[in-house]
Structure 1
Amino acid sequence: MASNCVSFTLFLVFFGVGPVCGVVYLQTGTDYTFQPKITGRPQNILWMFKDTKMVEYENSKPDWYKDYKSRGKLDIQSGDLTLKNLRKDDTGLYESEIQVDGKLQYSKYDIEVMDPVPKPYVSCTLHDTEVILLCSVDSSVLAVFEWSGPNEFHHTGTSLTIPREQRPDTLYMCTAKNKVSQNTTDYHLKHCLPGGSNHTVAVTVALIIFAVALAGVCGFFICKNKHGGPSGEQSDRKEDKEKVFSR
């Protein structure tokens, strides 16, 4: 495959066309400079994207097309074209046609622009004998997933199945990757296994709720007894007065 690429490159160079082998992967929001690698000072420069003009230079100032003037920069000394703040719709084939000493030289570039991988999210499902960990990112981002763990453990895939008897403090890491970036999330089994942090939090919350409820019940009876006392005393006094008057 490499020899075929070299042969094709030599063929293109012989006929005045720059090499184009493979795709260059770029991240959204970054800048990229296309470098045609010419010798001599350019007389005329033309850059195209998908057979549509981007910028044209003919011994004066560059003429820009569409919105490329706000995002592009042309070096008239070298023919280099810089495209700023790349977007996914910038993906495709770019071509240059540069005249030097009356001879046209051609170059081609194929790029693919994609979003970087966000930090992956790890969730778990607990079964009788095993734990299943699932790693995921936003569905709009293409990524592959790799797991790592204790004792140089490695696994490829979105899910990971491990025995339930593993220690709660065991650490696994999920790494999401694409052609332009990668991101990793650490996950301790204590977040999933009984007796781990989630379980402790749940018990703590339950105890707090029970304590609040108990305090409320106690407060109710204390308040009732407090108000019941004076009422009973007033009743006794009333009965004593009635006895005195009856005499």
Structure 2
Amino acid sequence: MMLQLIFVLSTLISVTASCDVFRLVGSSVQLDTQEPLPDFDDLFWLFKSDNNILNYEKKSKNITYFSDYEARVEFNEETYSLTLKNLQKTDSGLYEAKVSADKVTVVANYTLSVLDPVEAPVLTHQLSRDTCNITLTCRGHDLSISSSCYKETCEEKEVTLPGGVAISLSVSGSTIICNHSNPASWKTDVLELKELERLCDDGLTVRVVVGVVVVIILIVAFIVIYRNQERLREFWRQRRE
């Protein structure tokens, strides 16, 4: 009895567990049945439990397609898998395969999500005037994150929204990667660490040049003031004589 109970429970879990699948609009997906299949007379693929996609009669090998699926589905008579083509967002939902003999058994269970591709992100940077601290900003659609870099050390960050849309800043080797993704696609924008080093060096050069210019201006101003004072003293000496 215990072995029979364990078998029943394991069978129940195997036929009811749902697999999450993510695909892009316009792409295809292949949905497979569990292996091995129990002996059956008919096999059904259904969408959202009550919308028939196709019916396969094993004995006669007859396939009946329903609704508008015939033009964009393929059925494999050897593996009993279903391939859906040119996916649209309206195709998102629960897909099931059921076989019938003495009883009906669920032999496949998928939750399909059809998503748009993410937008390409934009990675920007801003150099602090007085240090080599550089602020990085990664933007993608309605998401934005910022982090800071000092020379070759950058802070890595990631934000993930419900539904799996994410944006991240990471470092791989000598490359800073701004990544915008959802469960079906991702796009990146990159920046080389050498570019940040150049910005830092350029900023340092600018600060040195500005410092030198300021010193020169102060020296020139001092000389001008000193000479003017000498002229004034000479002028008043001549007046007194």
Q: What is the TM-score with the length of structure 1 in the denominator? A: 0.54
| 145 and 104 in structure 1: CA distance in 2 versus 1, 3 angstrom threshold | farther
CA distance in structure 1 between the aligned counterparts of 2:124 and 2:44, rounded to whole angstroms: 52
- Report if the CA contact (8 A) 1:25-1:111 is conserved: yes
Q: In the alignment, does 2:36 pair up with 1:35?
A: no
CA distance in structure 1 between the aligned counterparts of 2:20 and 2:31, rounded to whole angstroms: 13
Q: Matched residues, percent identical?
A: 24
Pick from 15, 18, 21 the counterpart of residue 18 of structure 1. 15
Query: What secondary structure, in the 3-state scheme, does the structure 2 residue paired with 1:57 have?
Result: strand
Deviation at 1:91, TM superposition (A): 1.4
Pick from 151, 154, 163 the counterpart of residue 156 of structure 2. 154
Deviation at 1:185, TM superposition (A): 1.0
Larger Rg: 1 or 2? 1
**Aligned counterpart, 2:190:** 186
**Aligned counterpart, 1:105:** 105
| 99 and 22 in structure 1: CA distance in 2 versus 1, 3 angstrom threshold | closer
CA distance in structure 1 between the aligned counterparts of 2:144 and 2:70, rounded to whole angstroms: 36
Query: Over the residues paired in the alignment, what is the CA RMSD in angstroms?
Result: 4.2
The structure with more strand, counted as a fraction of residues: 2
Deviation at 1:49, TM superposition (A): 0.8
| 40 and 23 in structure 1: CA distance in 2 versus 1, 3 angstrom threshold | closer
CA distance in structure 2 between the aligned counterparts of 1:133 and 1:30, rounded to whole angstroms: 34
CA distance in structure 1 between the aligned counterparts of 2:134 and 2:155, rounded to whole angstroms: 16
Mapping of 1:1-247 within 5 angstroms?
11=9, 13-14=11-12, 18-37=15-34, 38-39=36-37, 42-50=40-48, 51-58=50-57, 59-99=60-100, 102-106=102-106, 107-124=108-125, 132-139=135-142, 150-151=152-153, 153-157=155-159, 172-187=176-191, 188-189=195-196
Deviation at 1:28, TM superposition (A): 3.0
Deviation at 1:34, TM superposition (A): 1.5
> What is the count of residue pairs matched by the alignment?
176
Query: What secondary structure, in the 3-state scheme, does the structure 1 residue paired with 2:98 have?
Result: strand
Query: What secondary structure, in the 3-state scheme, does the structure 2 residue paired with 1:13 have?
Result: helix
| 176 and 14 in structure 1: CA distance in 2 versus 1, 3 angstrom threshold | closer
Query: What secondary structure, in the 3-state scheme, does the structure 2 residue paired with 1:89 have?
Result: helix
Query: What secondary structure, in the 3-state scheme, does the structure 1 residue paired with 2:90 have?
Result: helix
CA deviations on 1:13-42 (whole Å, 9 max, x unpaired) are: 249x71424522233333222212243665
CA distance in structure 2 between the aligned counterparts of 1:181 and 1:148, rounded to whole angstroms: 27
Deviation at 1:174, TM superposition (A): 1.0
Worse-superposed segment, 28-37 or 38-47 = 38-47
Counterpart AA for 1:44: D
- Report if the CA contact (8 A) 1:36-1:80 is conserved: yes
Query: What secondary structure, in the 3-state scheme, does the structure 2 residue paired with 1:29 have?
Result: coil
Unaligned runs of 5+ in 1: 1-7, 161-169, 197-247
CA deviations on 1:188-217 (whole Å, 9 max, x unpaired) are: 459989969xxxxxxxxxxxxxxxxxxxxx
CA deviations on 1:153-182 (whole Å, 9 max, x unpaired) are: 42225698xxxxxxxxx9633122222233
Q: What is the TM-score with the length of structure 2 in the denominator? A: 0.55
**Aligned counterpart, 1:231:** none
CA deviations on 1:42-61 (whole Å, 9 max, x unpaired) are: 53121111121111233353
